[in-house]
């Protein structure tokens, strides 16, 4: 009774302790703590607050299992309890909480429950209600534990026989949680050996951040940046042994929907992800994979045999409308990023990918099809747009390397540009080739900007525009080898305007070929008004590039476009020469980068039918210009240049130099000018002072210039005068001059050397005239020095003195005699002139016949010394004097003397001749005063004086002397002379060709008688002196 009361009052506590003892014996490695127990009549035993821990630390992280209520359903009563453990029909576990932990070594704390002691007692079914499990990894303390709640399970055991321990525990139930709408669990556990197998049917399992954190923490390093979310449904099978944690076998068949994934290796997050995942026998298979990557759609499948890094893998994928943008570029491997930077692609790509991994190497096969593409190349960064095409990747096959085949088209210059190529074993500096072709492609600034810097500088300076066909190719024969590039441009309709020679050319066709950095220009031809051809090359040199071009042109107009194309020095030459018309030319242009300006050498051939020159410094229009004009760095050379002005023809060589600062010089050499007519046009073109000088001479007729040198020079100052120098031979042809005295019919040459500038104007020369006419007298073989300047024209000794030469006169021939003369003409105001001439050996017969028209026969020689002077162009201003001596003469047929002699001889003809003569005269205008007119013969001497003029009028008076005149005694000579004068005087009137002779005996007496008669007959107031011979004028007495 007492014992019963004791048990009754302490039964619950005893049950609690009994449970603790039993569990402690079952799990000696665990610390067991039971909070309380109670016997419920008719139901069983209820145990409360059951706790199992791994160690006796009391720390929460050592908790293993906690149960709020454990109900052992049985027919338990006090008597039965006193007899032993009652027969349990079912175990109900309410709100158990289990903490699963994995320590840093990988051991799970649930291993403490195993192995369970074998028993033949039938295990009652266990019902778990409202359980929760929290799983944590002590090696990852920052991870939030994974918790599964609302677990409701039924655990039932089965006996294999009376003598065989229960080996298998079956678990069925459901569970749910934050990430899981519902799951169905079936499991088989062998408590004895630890083997287990479980099937979990999952409905709408949500893969959230907590689960992702666990996945990332335990994933390989390259997957730890993954941000993943999805919803999965399906079946998961897990089997293994609790004591062999690393040998878990997992099989799964899951359908994933509403997924998304982010990773640094993805260009954009994957959205709308769905797929089917199968895991079985170490093989994982992903099929029906579909996702959106931004605007791109992805379909894929994959299979991997194992989880080791070398596990064989195969992948197949299809990507549609994947944008080629920075997002994609940033996720590519560094090697591909480098290639991306070289090509800068944009657009959309459809890709079909297949790749297999054999544990060592990947073997990819890919077809990339692009649309709306734009790309370029670092070798030629000209961007193509609106592109499309394919890139095919073929894997290695035996000895054949991996190959990349390119077949693409892009738009450039308004036309499609086709790109084909093959790259073998793709990698940096891989072997392969690429070819780019286009037809009727418009040249754009972007295209020129894509050229290498050295070439770009030169091509940019050409300002090309128009269309072309081209083929560009790059080849690399061996890996790592420097590539070779080639470019062929077939110009279709091009125009250029070169900076260094901005002459516009259009309609250009031809070929431009480039091998690496060397460019060759062949058969370049411009059409239209300016047909110009070009050949040349552009090649690299030690510093920069060298351009060499040869231009040839036909019928090129000398217009403003050509003028503006030249440098300033050429423009200066053009401005001074003022060319017009058309030319053929050949020009070489050489330029090096950094040189400043090109070197231009040109050979110009004017078209005679159109070309003309009208130099500013010699404003004289020259047409029909032909020959060769060479230009080289400001220097000009003339070869066989011909021109025409009216009837005047010009032929010359020459050279010159024109500086950019405005300084220039021009020299004509070998100058020949035929049929020069001195008119207003020529005078206007000549330098002012020279023009004034020539104009003062009033030249008429035609001239010819031979072997001339004519130089022009001007300094840099815009106000500087033009300096002119000349040295030429002037040929006169029927020329007349009025240089104070009138010279007519000049024939022959004059060598002239001189200069003209603002300070001076002169010509020094040498006369070599065949013939000159003066006052009807022909002078031949005229030779001697001449000097002409602004103020005077000098001949003979004075000219020689100006030239710094020894004094010598001008010599000439006239009437078979020689003449030596000096002369001077001044030009200020009225021209003033002086001349002095010595005549020796003049043929008297020719003089009388040719000059005076005499038909009588006269012989003899004439020597004379003559001085003349005057001013103006009138003969009335003439002055002068002369002394003429006649020698070796036979003078008897002169009309004047003949008449005189006839009068003396009373009509009888007498062939007696005079053999000497002496004449002294004075010239006043056209009048000649004969101061002495004496003729000496063997029998009769005539002595006289008188007057004549240029019209050959005569007024002479003679007296005859008979006998000898060489008396030794002077008084006798004077007596005879006076007597002869008083006996007979002869008077000559008329003209030289028709003289009238009258005689008068004793002229002194006759004069006295006439005077007396006049005195008587004349009235006194009106007394006038009567002439002795009123019928003819009288000359002063010869006395």
Residue with tokens 């931004």: 294
In this predicted structure, which of 45-49, 261-265, 982-986, 1033-1037 has the lowest mean pLDDT? 1033-1037
Q: Are strands 792-795 and 817-826 parallel, antiparallel or unpaired?
A: antiparallel
Model pLDDT, residue 161: 42
Model pLDDT, residue 240: 86
Are 2 and 17 in contact by the 8 Å Cβ rule? The answer is no
- Of 887, 888, 910, 884, the C-alpha closest to 897 is 910
Q: Are strands 88-102 and 126-137 parallel, antiparallel or unpaired?
A: parallel
To which H or E segment does residue 765 belong?
strand 761-774
The confidence band for 290, taking pLDDT boundaries of 50, 70 and 90, is: very high
Tens digits of residue pLDDT in 167-219:
688 889 988 877 778 889 898 888 777 788 889 898 888 887 777 777 777 66
> Per-residue pLDDT averaged across 640-657, rounded?
90
Long-range contacts (CB closer than 8 Å, 24 or more residues apart) made by 419-426 = 419/384, 419/389, 425/396, 425/401, 425/479, 426/393, 426/402
Are 701 and 735 in contact by the 8 Å Cβ rule? The answer is yes
Model pLDDT, residue 9: 55
> Per-residue pLDDT averaged across 75-103, rounded?
79
Are 67 and 95 in contact by the 8 Å Cβ rule? The answer is yes
- Of 93, 96, 98, the C-alpha closest to 145 is 98
Model pLDDT, residue 975: 46
The confidence band for 822, taking pLDDT boundaries of 50, 70 and 90, is: very high
Model pLDDT, residue 1027: 36
Tens digits of residue pLDDT in 660-691:
788 888 898 998 988 888 888 888 887 776 77
To which H or E segment does residue 188 belong?
strand 180-189
* HSE-CB for 478 with a 13 A CA cutoff: 2
Model pLDDT, residue 971: 46
Evaluate if residue 1035 carries a pLDDT over 60: no
CA distances from 754 to 419, 726, 728, 792 (A): 74, 5, 9, 14
> Per-residue pLDDT averaged across 98-119, rounded?
74
For 91, the 3-state DSSP assignment is strand
Model pLDDT, residue 818: 94
What CA–CA distance (Å, rounded) separates 566 from 554? 18
Task: Identify each DSSP E strand in 85-145 by its residue range.
Answer: 88-102, 126-137
Model pLDDT, residue 112: 67
Tens digits of residue pLDDT in 57-86:
445 567 888 999 988 888 766 666 666 667
In this predicted structure, which of 142-146, 162-166, 512-516, 695-699 has the lowest mean pLDDT? 162-166
Model pLDDT, residue 884: 92
Which tops the pLDDT comparison, 276 or 122?
276
% of the chain beyond a pLDDT of 70: 85
- Phi, psi for 85 (deg, rounded to 5): -75, 130
Model pLDDT, residue 1023: 42
Evaluate if residue 821 carries a pLDDT over 90: yes
> Per-residue pLDDT averaged across 32-52, rounded?
87
The confidence band for 980, taking pLDDT boundaries of 50, 70 and 90, is: low
The confidence band for 497, taking pLDDT boundaries of 50, 70 and 90, is: confident
- Of 253, 250, 257, 210, the C-alpha closest to 232 is 257
DSSP conformational letter for 991: B
In this predicted structure, which of 151-155, 426-430, 986-990, 1014-1018 has the lowest mean pLDDT? 1014-1018
The confidence band for 6, taking pLDDT boundaries of 50, 70 and 90, is: low
Evaluate if residue 335 carries a pLDDT over 90: no
Task: Identify each DSSP E strand in 874-1008 by its residue range.
Answer: 879-891, 914-924, 927-937, 940-949, 954-962, 984-990, 995-1001
> Per-residue pLDDT averaged across 93-104, rounded?
88
Provide the mean pLDDT of the chain.
Answer: 81
> Per-residue pLDDT averaged across 800-813, rounded?
91
């Amino acid at each position: 009774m007492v014992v019963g009361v004791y048990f009754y009052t302490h039964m619950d506590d005893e049950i609690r302790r009994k449970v603790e003892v039993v569990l402690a014996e079952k799990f000696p490695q665990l610390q067991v703590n039971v909070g309380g127990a109670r016997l419920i009549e008719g139901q069983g035993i209820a145990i409360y607050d059951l706790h199992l821990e791994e160690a006796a630390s009391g720390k929460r992280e050592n908790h293993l299992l906690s149960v709020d209520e454990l109900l052992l359903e049985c027919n338990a009563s006090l008597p039965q309890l006193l007899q032993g453990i009652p027969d349990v029909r079912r175990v109900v576990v309410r709100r158990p909480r289990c903490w699963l932990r994995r320590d840093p070594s990988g051991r799970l704390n649930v291993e403490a429950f195993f192995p369970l002691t074998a028993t033949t007692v039938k295990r009652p079914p266990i019902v778990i209600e409202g359980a929760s499990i929290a799983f944590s990894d002590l090696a990852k303390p920052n991870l939030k534990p994974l918790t599964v709640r609302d677990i409701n399970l039924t655990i039932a055991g089965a006996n294999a026989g009376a003598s065989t321990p229960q080996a298998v525990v079956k678990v069925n139930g459901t569970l749910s949680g934050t990430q899981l709408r519902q799951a169905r669990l079936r499991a088989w556990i062998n408590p004895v050996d630890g083997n287990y197998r479980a099937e979990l049917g999952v409905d709408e399992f949500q893969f959230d951040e907590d689960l992702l954190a666990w996945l990332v923490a335990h994933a390989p390093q390259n997957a730890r940046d993954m941000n993943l979310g999805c919803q999965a449904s399906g079946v998961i099978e897990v089997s293994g042994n609790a004591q062999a944690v690393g040998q878990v076998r997992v099989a799964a068949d899951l359908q994933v929907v509403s997924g998304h994934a982010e990773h640094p290796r993805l260009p954009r997050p994957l959205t709308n992800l769905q797929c089917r995942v199968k895991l079985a026998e170490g093989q994982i298979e992903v099929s029906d994979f579909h996702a959106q990557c931004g605007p791109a759609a992805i379909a894929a499948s994959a299979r991997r045999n194992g989880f080791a890094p070398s596990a064989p893998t195969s992948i197949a994928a299809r990507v549609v409308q994947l944008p080629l943008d920075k997002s994609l570029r940033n996720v590519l491997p560094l090697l591909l990023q480098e290639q991306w930077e070289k090509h800068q692609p944009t657009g959309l790509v459809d890709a079909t990918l297949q790749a297999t991994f054999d544990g060592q190497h990947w073997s990819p096969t890919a077809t990339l099809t692009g649309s709306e593409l734009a790309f370029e190349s670092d070798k030629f960064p000209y961007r193509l747009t609106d592109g499309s095409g394919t890139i095919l990747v073929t894997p290695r096959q035996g000895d054949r390397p991996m190959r990349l085949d390119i077949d693409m088209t892009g738009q450039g210059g308004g036309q499609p540009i086709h790109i084909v190529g093959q790259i073998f074993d793709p990698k940096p500096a891989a072997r392969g080739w690429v070819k780019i072709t286009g037809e009727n492609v418009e040249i754009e600034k972007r295209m020129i900007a894509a050229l290498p810097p050295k070439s770009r500088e030169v091509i940019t300076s050409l300002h090309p525009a128009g269309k072309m066909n081209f083929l560009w190719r790059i080849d690399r024969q061996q890996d790592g080898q420097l590539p070779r590039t080639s470019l062929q441009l077939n110009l279709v309709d091009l125009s250029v305007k070169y900076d260094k020679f901005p002459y516009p050319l259009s309609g250009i066709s031809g070929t431009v070929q480039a091998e690496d950095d060397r460019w060759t220009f062949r058969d370049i031809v411009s059409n239209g008004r300016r047909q110009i051809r070009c050949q040349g090359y552009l090649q690299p040199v030690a510093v920069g590039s060298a351009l060499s071009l040869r231009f040839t042109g036909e019928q090129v107009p000398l217009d403003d476009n050509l003028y503006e194309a030249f440098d300033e020095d050429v423009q200066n030459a053009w401005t001074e020469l003022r060319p017009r018309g058309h030319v053929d030319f050949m020009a070489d242009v050489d330029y090096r980068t950094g040189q400043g300006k090109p070197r231009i050498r040109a050979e110009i051939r004017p078209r005679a039918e159109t070309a003309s020159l009208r130099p500013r410094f010699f404003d004289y229009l020259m047409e029909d210009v032909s020959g060769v004009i060479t230009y080289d760095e400001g220097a000009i050379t003339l070869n066989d240049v011909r021109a025409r002005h009216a009837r005047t023809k010009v032929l010359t060589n020459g050279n010159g130099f024109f500086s950019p600062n405005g300084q220039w010089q021009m020299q004509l050499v070998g100058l020949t000018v035929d049929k020069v007519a001195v008119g207003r046009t020529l005078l206007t073109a000549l330098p002012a002072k020279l023009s004034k000088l020539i104009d003062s001479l009033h030249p008429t007729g035609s001239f010819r210039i031979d072997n001339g040198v004519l130089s022009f020079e001007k300094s840099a100052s815009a106000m500087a005068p033009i300096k002119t120098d000349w040295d030429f031979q002037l040929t006169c042809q029927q020329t007349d001059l009025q240089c104070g005295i009138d010279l007519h019919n000049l024939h022959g040459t004059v060598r002239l050397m001189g200069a003209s500038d603002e300070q001076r104007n002169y010509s020094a020369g040498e006369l070599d005239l065949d013939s000159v006419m003066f006052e009807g007298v022909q002078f031949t073989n005229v030779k001697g020095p001449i000097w002409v300047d602004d103020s005077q024209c000098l001949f003979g000794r004075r000219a020689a003195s100006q030239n710094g030469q020894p004094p010598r006169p001008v010599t000439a021939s006239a009437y078979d005699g020689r003449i030596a003369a000096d002369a001077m003409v001044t030009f200020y105001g009225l021209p003033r002139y002086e001349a002095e001439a010595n005549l020796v050996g003049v043929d008297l017969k020719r003089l009388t016949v040719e000059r005076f028209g005499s038909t009588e026969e006269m012989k003899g020689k004439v020597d004379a010394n003559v001085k003349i002077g005057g001013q103006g162009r009138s003969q009335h201003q003439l002055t002068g004097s002369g002394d003429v001596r006649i020698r070796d003469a036979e003078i008897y047929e002169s009309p004047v003397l003949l008449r005189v002699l006839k009068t003396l001889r009373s009509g009888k003809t007498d062939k007696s001749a005079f053999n000497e003569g002496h004449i002294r005269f004075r010239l006043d205008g056209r009048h000649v005063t004969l101061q002495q007119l004496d003729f000496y013969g063997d029998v009769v001497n005539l002595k006289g004086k008188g007057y004549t003029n240029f019209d050959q009028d005569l007024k002479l008076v003679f007296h005859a002397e008979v006998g000898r005149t060489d008396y030794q005694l002077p008084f006798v000579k004077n007596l005879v002379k006076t007597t002869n004068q008083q006996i007979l005087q002869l008077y000559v009137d008329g003209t030289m060709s028709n003289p009238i002779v009258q005689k008068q005996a004793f002229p002194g007496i006759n004069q006295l008688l006439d005077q007396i008669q006049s005195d008587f007959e004349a009235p006194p107031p009106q007394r006038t002196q009567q002439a002795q011979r009123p019928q003819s004028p009288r000359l002063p007495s010869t006395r």
